[in-house]
Homo-oligomer: A and B are copies of this chain.
């Protein structure tokens, strides 16, 4: 890897990241400025992420902030036409995203939300149990709970990485906080965040009036294998 990416790659990634932020809004996962998506810039040691505290309606491809994988503003050409970036500060969750990219090389996109149903499970510190075929498909088992961690250092990132490493799930419920979802790229990570909220909501509703039936581990395994090997376009 090098620290530079072709301008065309960065421009396309900025556009995709901007569009994906609008999907957080249309999917009902975020309120006001909460939530953010980041993407690793392929072939570099850089990432793009939402600027801090900017409203979703004001986001543009150019407003996405280029950082290195320590979460610091990237110096030099960033494809936005400026030598020093766009002057915006990156998301206050940048350190957590950067930690994930440093420690999980297979991850190309990270999403953070406080989506209501998933965050309700996180507030109780309870994993979402795998009681639906869609959860077996997408998460391969329960959606796990990560530790309580304060913002501002490596604690949140470390909690995400320790919880998701070796786990099939691509989403973690950070205790008393919210969701972090990962993926091969940012679109894949947004999908995980959307499906995490959908799972958290449906199981919440099922639990509210009784007890959902269990799915056996063998069935969970077969569903997960099939979904990850045969679903979608080849």
- B206 x A123 contact (CB < 8 A): yes
Given contacts A194-B31, A212-B124, A223-B150, whether A231 and B53 have CB atoms under 8 Å apart is yes
- B178 x A232 contact (CB < 8 A): no
Contact partner of A212 (CB less than 8 A), chosen from B54, B123, B194, B226, is: B123
- What range describes how many residues of A lie at the interface? 35 or more
How many chain copies? 4
0/1 string, A117-141, CB within 8 A of B gives 1: 1011101111000011110000000
A191 within 8 A of B: yes
Q: Which of A6-14, A67-75, A163-171, A195-203 contacts B (4 or more CB under 8 A)?
A: A195-203
CB neighbours of A52 from chain B (8 A): 231-233
Q: Other than A120-B209, A148-B213, give 7 A-B pairs with Cβ distance below 8 A.
A: A27-B31, A31-B194, A89-B233, A123-B203, A124-B212, A133-B151, A176-B215
